[in-house]
A and B are shown apart, each in its own frame.
Chain A
């Protein structure tokens, strides 16, 4: 068997092992629950048989003595099942705090494997887990700190087939995902299953947090807005930027994940979710108990907005709230549009196809090996369209930087490009100064970017410009990343 097959086999066995352990733990928990006095879930004073173990009183003592938590709040945490979808920059800190706070059951869902470039922000993962499932890496670390929690691994991507089935086994969901199509799916499924979602996102230096489908008395139907109420229509694909493309600062996404854990603790310990399982009467909900702020406190819809480099980094934005005609949580004018368990939409179509553009004819594209050979020839100019920051990290010797944003701004080939090509021509052969530069025959301009998408767009713009009619214009398949792997002399990042 090859190393790869062995490796995959090990991963599969580990997953199976973790799933079996989780099953045992959950069965044991159920056994305990069945043998406990029936009133234990709502009882607010300790009886002769303490509901927490001596170890738990000590472990949770510092939060237990706060009036917002108290014994009722701690018991609610213990009796709540939370699903964390996405064990990345948001999911890692969120899972850490929920596990240490004593949430009884934590489900962790992610299909991804740990990569080196995750570690600057995904604080649960360690070097030992590179190439192995994030879910198992996280559970390993979480269990080391708090073995009282039942951890349930879901090593899978969330899709319209499995979403409802998984989500309905939990009381509260944390959306820690990284793409709009999953965010809409999580919200739609949670609305159908009647679950609250704490949803956060982050990019570069900013973050956003909303609580979706939250029990509240200030909205008709007793629920706050869903994700579609906040964002009724998906953004155009070209405006969706991932952390891999746009970058993200670890503490920024960390703050958002911690805030998700905090919202979850507040919602759970207040008892707000108890009405969700079996709708309680309004009186009962409003009555309250020590450590209960009650689900009935009117709370206008809001979005927390974190802009870490702003002089006022935290803002609470007042939002409109539920849309009466929402196709997920409302009553659409056309009843056929209403999303139900059997009509969860196809989010790939809804949010547009994935990236990886194919704009150029293959004959106008070059491999990194070809261009690597051409470097240094006097009639070859390499133009790199990555931004200045990335160009400053690593670049091909002799290449010129004309950031892509300049191309997008003008919608045409920027002056900076013509200047760069002209200067390159001059420095390559000072004697023929008059002849070189724009319009020179036999010149090849090669455009390079990070992955080979922007470079195609830029090359196309140059090809369509009459000033370049005598040149050969090409771009590099796979960009600087491929260059680092195949040619060398630059680094992969």
Chain B
């Protein structure tokens, strides 16, 4: 099956778990869901061993929002959303400072 290009972005400190990369250009197999993408990120791209700072109980941990093209993934079917060409998936961690 063909691969499709997508962009993955990290912010709110999550970039520190991914070698301080704020943006990754990836190719994923057509039909890949966001849930599968999360696993791919943990397996292949996360440099920090503390996976619990990104994934808890098989899904992104509390305090992280997943945005599919700037929309909350809950509006798009959460983990079951099938990635499309040129999608941007943004992972944002909650900030607390003030």
Contacts and interface: CB of A to CB of B under 8 A. Distances in A.
Given A320-B72, A320-B74, A203 B48 contact: no
A200 B98 contact: yes
Given A317-B67, A317-B70, A409-B48, A236 B61 contact: yes
Contacts, number: 114
A27 B52 CA distance: 54
B96 A180 contact: yes
B46 to A, nearest CB: 9
Interface residues of A, number: 51
A120 B74 CA distance: 39
Interface stretch (B10-18, B26-34, B37-45, B79-87): B10-18
Contact of B97 (A231, A241, A408): A241
A246 B63 contact: no
A183 interface: yes
B63 A90 contact: no
A91 to B, nearest CB: 7
Contacts of B71: 317-318
B53 interface: yes
B65 interface: yes
B98 to A, nearest CB: 4
A409 B98 contact: no
Interface in A70-104: 86, 88-91
A178 B49 contact: no
Given A231-B63, A318-B75, A411-B49, A86 B98 contact: yes
Given A238-B53, A319-B72, A320-B75, A202 B67 contact: no
A177 B98 CA distance: 6
Contact of B98 (A91, A315, A410): A91
Contact of A242 (B12, B48, B97): B97
A246 B13 contact: yes
Given A206-B11, A236-B61, A248-B97, 19 more contacts: A90-B98, A180-B96, A202-B95, A204-B13, A232-B62, A234-B62, A235-B62, A235-B93, A236-B62, A236-B63, A238-B53, A240-B96, A242-B97, A243-B97, A317-B71, A318-B72, A318-B75, A319-B72, A320-B75
Interface of B: 11-13, 16, 22, 47-50, 52-53, 56, 61-65, 67, 70-72, 74-75, 90, 92-98
7 tightest A-B contacts by CB?
A235-B63, A411-B49, A233-B62, A243-B97, A203-B97, A318-B71, A320-B74
22 contacts: A86-B98, A90-B98, A178-B97, A180-B94, A202-B97, A204-B13, A207-B95, A231-B94, A233-B62, A235-B64, A239-B63, A241-B97, A242-B96, A242-B97, A243-B98, A307-B11, A317-B90, A317-B92, A318-B72, A318-B75, A408-B50, A409-B48
Interface of A: 86, 88-91, 176-180, 183, 200-204, 206-208, 230-236, 238-243, 246, 248, 253, 256, 303, 305, 307, 310, 315-320, 405, 408-411
